């Protein structure tokens, strides 16, 4: 073969495809290696009162996958509360700092409990001042009046946001950012020294706590009210202040959280088979270890709790081999039901209403398929009808709106449905 023919041979379409496949394969190997490193790091991290080494390998891997999707640092930017991972305030603050037009942010606790605490302290100071004289009396009374002024401001701000009356923590976040017309290169170079005219403020508020006994409740917010309110408030304000950055990112985060929440539900439902391994129960605010002596088959949230085993060991019969991945099927239906507003507490009633066993561990492959259809088909059919009316193509629409070739989950079909609804309104249909 001549040198020229060799050159031609190495540039054939087939060899290019092979080279691309190899490159993707190398990238995947590198990605998995990095994931394993993150999972190893998680072993040494403490969540609540439990070391990461106490978590099952599957759980550590899912947390590592969540870190990969979000770009979060597991040691400082992730909390595990109420059966799911949360990106904490450190994560949002660090990401805000990377925004070119971000200047700074501030957060204020404006909840009624904080206001009452401030007024109580002010009254104590005023009472104390009655026994003082001269400058010392004036100084103490000045402190009291300052506290009263701050309490009044809390009341006014809270009236503006109208939080839930029972909330124990209400946090207002204000982000200061440069307007889009500002020449950031000039600011960076120090040519613009008076930056105040170029700054705008964006405020948002969120609250948590005090929901026990009120319907669904908020176990995470009730357990860590102040921490949760600060994180949620900062996230909401970031989405408002930098909507172009947050719009697609927020969807990716929501999907990641739903996926791993479903994964945790399955993990806690699986039995602990290896002697000495710890079963892990994620409760609001803490992670509780159950030693191997009392570790039982952990029920899914909302499913029947099995009676404790007797002390003597009983040899288990091997479960029958199934021709489908039950674990993946459980994750998919949990995420789909959650997307449809059917949480763990409502899942039993929904299952019985539609003719299923209360426990998904007893569902057949056909049961999972039918359950998915009940949830997805109405939205799916509406989307397909709208596509036909508008003369669109599902593949093109999915690539444009979802960044993938087809919708796979209920959230995807809902996103397409919302987009098509806007298009149809524009067409007057």
Query: Would you say 205 and 172 are in contact if contact means Cβ atoms under 8 Å apart?
Result: yes
pLDDT for the residue numbered 154? 95
Start-to-end CA span in the chain (Å): 65
What pLDDT score does 156 carry? 94
Q: Which of 166-170, 302-306, 383-387 has the lowest mean pLDDT?
A: 302-306
Q: Render pLDDT for 35-77 as a digit per residue (tens, 0 to 9).
A: 777 777 888 877 655 567 777 777 777 778 778 777 888 888 8
| pLDDT band, residue 21 (cuts 50/70/90) | low
- Does residue 170 contact residue 153 with C-beta atoms inside 8 Å? no
**What local confidence, expressed as pLDDT, does residue 305 receive?**
37
* pLDDT-derived band at 25, boundaries 50, 70, 90: low
What is the C-alpha to C-alpha distance for residues 97 and 126, in angstroms, rounded to an integer?
42
DSSP per position, 288-340: EEE-TTT--PPPPTTSPPPPPPPSS--PPPPPPPPSS-HHHHHHHHHHHHHHT
Averaged pLDDT score across all residues of the chain: 76
Whole-number percent of the chain with pLDDT over 90: 25
More confident residue, 429 or 328: 328
pLDDT value, residue 59 = 73
Residue showing tokens 């806007």: 422
| 186 — pLDDT class (breaks 50, 70, 90) | very high
Torsion of CA 363, 365, 366, 367, to 10 degrees: 30
Does the pLDDT value for residue 31 go beyond 60? yes
Could you tell me which residues are beta bridge partners of residue 276? none
In the structure encoding, which two tokens stand for residue 307, read together?
A: 């009676």
Q: State the average pLDDT over residues 331-340.
A: 83
**Torsion angle in degrees (nearest 10) through CA of 97, 101, 106, 110:** -120
- Would you say residue 8 has pLDDT above 80? no
Averaged pLDDT for residues 176-183:
91
| Residue 290 confidence class, pLDDT cut points 50, 70, 90 | very low
Q: What pLDDT does residue 129 have?
A: 92
Burial, 185: exposed, middle or buried (Cβ in 10 Å; 0-12, 13-18, 19+)? Answer: exposed
The pLDDT of residue 220 is 77
How buried is 273 (Cβ within 10 angstroms: 0-12 exposed, 13-18 middle, 19+ buried)? exposed
Packed helices 410-427 and 394-401: angle between N→C axes, nearest 10 degrees? 100
> Using CA atoms in the order 409, 410, 414, 415, what is the torsion angle rounded to 10 degrees?
-20
- Cα–Cα distance for residue pair 105/204, rounded to 1 Å: 11
Name the pLDDT band for 302 (thresholds 50, 70, 90): very low
Q: What is the pLDDT of residue 298?
A: 33
Tell me: pLDDT of 190 over 50: yes
155 or 48, greater pLDDT: 155
Count of beta carbons in the 10 Å neighbourhood of residue 336: 20
pLDDT in tens, 111-134: 999 999 999 999 999 999 999 999
What integer pLDDT is reported at residue 84 of this predicted model?
67
Q: Element (H or E) spanning 224, and its range? A: none
pLDDT for residue 285 is more than 50: no
- Residue 273 pLDDT class (50, 70, 90 cuts): very low
Total residues found in the chain within this entry: 429
Q: Is a pLDDT exceeding 90 seen at residue 256?
A: no
Query: Does residue 295 register a pLDDT over 60?
Result: no
Residue 312 confidence (pLDDT): 47
When pLDDT is averaged across residues 19-47 and rounded to a whole number, the result is 70
For residue 419, what pLDDT is reported?
A: 86
pLDDT of residue 272: 33
pLDDT at 216 over 80: no
pLDDT-derived band at 310 (thresholds 50, 70, 90) equals very low
Most confident of 83-87, 308-312, 417-421: 417-421
pLDDT-derived band at 304, boundaries 50, 70, 90: very low
**Is a pLDDT exceeding 90 seen at residue 110?**
yes
Quickly count: other Cβ atoms within 10 Å of residue 32's Cβ.
10
- For residue 170, the tally of other CB atoms under 10 A from its CB is 28
pLDDT at 138 over 90: yes
Q: Is the pLDDT of residue 415 over 60?
A: yes
Q: Which structure tokens are listed for 345?
A: 């507490």
**Out of 194-203, 257-266, 406-415, which region has the weakest mean confidence (pLDDT)?**
257-266
More confident site: 99 or 212: 99
- Among residues 227, 210, 226, which one has the least CA distance to residue 218? 210
Q: In what order do the strands lie in the sheet with 169-178?
A: 102-109, 169-178, 199-208
Q: Is the pLDDT of residue 109 over 80?
A: yes
Tokens of 156: 């006014």
């Amino acid at each position: 073969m001549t040198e020229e023919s060799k050159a031609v041979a190495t540039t054939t379409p087939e060899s290019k495809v092979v080279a691309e496949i190899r490159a993707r394969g190398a990238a995947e190997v590198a990605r998995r290696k990095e994931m394993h490193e993150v999972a190893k790091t998680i072993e040494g991290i403490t969540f609540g009162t439990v070391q990461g080494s106490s978590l099952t390998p599957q759980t550590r891997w899912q947390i590592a996958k969540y870190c990969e999707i979000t770009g979060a640092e597991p040691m400082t930017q992730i909390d595990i509360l109420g059966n799911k991972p949360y990106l904490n305030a450190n994560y949002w603050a660090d990401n805000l700092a990377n925004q070119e037009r971000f200047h700074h942010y501030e957060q204020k606790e404006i909840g009624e409990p904080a206001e009452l605490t401030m007024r109580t302290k002010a009254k104590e100071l005023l009472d104390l001042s009655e026994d003082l004289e001269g400058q010392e009396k004036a100084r103490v009374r000045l402190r009291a009046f300052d506290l009263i002024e701050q309490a009044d401001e809390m009341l006014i701000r809270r009236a503006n946001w109208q939080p839930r009356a029972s909330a124990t923590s209400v946090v207002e976040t204000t982000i200061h950012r440069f307007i889009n017309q500002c020449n950031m290169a000039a600011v960076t170079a120090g040519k613009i020294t008076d930056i105040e005219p170029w700054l705008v403020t964006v405020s948002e508020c969120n609250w948590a706590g005090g929901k026990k006994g009120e319907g669904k409740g908020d176990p995470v917010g009730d357990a860590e009210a102040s921490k949760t309110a600060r994180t949620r408030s900062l996230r909401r304000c970031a989405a408002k202040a930098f909507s172009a950055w947050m719009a697609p990112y927020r969807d990716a985060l929501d999907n990641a959280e739903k996926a791993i929440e479903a994964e945790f539900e399955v993990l806690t439902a699986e039995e602990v088979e290896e002697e000495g391994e710890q079963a892990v129960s994620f409760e609001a605010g803490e992670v509780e270890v159950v030693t191997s002596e009392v570790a039982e088959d952990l029920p899914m949230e909302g499913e029947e709790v099995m009676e404790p085993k007797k002390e003597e060991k009983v040899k288990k019969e091997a479960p029958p081999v199934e021709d489908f991945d039950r674990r993946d099927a459980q994750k998919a239906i949990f995420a789909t039901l959650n997307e449809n507003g059917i949480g763990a507490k409502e899942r039993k009633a929904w299952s019985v209403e539609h003719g299923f066993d209360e426990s998904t561990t007893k569902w057949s492959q056909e049961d999972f398929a039918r359950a998915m259809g009940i949830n997805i088909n109405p939205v799916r059919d509406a989307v397909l009808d709208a596509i036909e009316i508008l003369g669109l193509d599902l593949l093109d629409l999915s690539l444009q709106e979802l960044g993938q070739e087809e919708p796979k989950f209920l959230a995807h079909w809902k996103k397409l449905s919302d987009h098509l609804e806007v298009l149809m309104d524009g067409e007057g249909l």
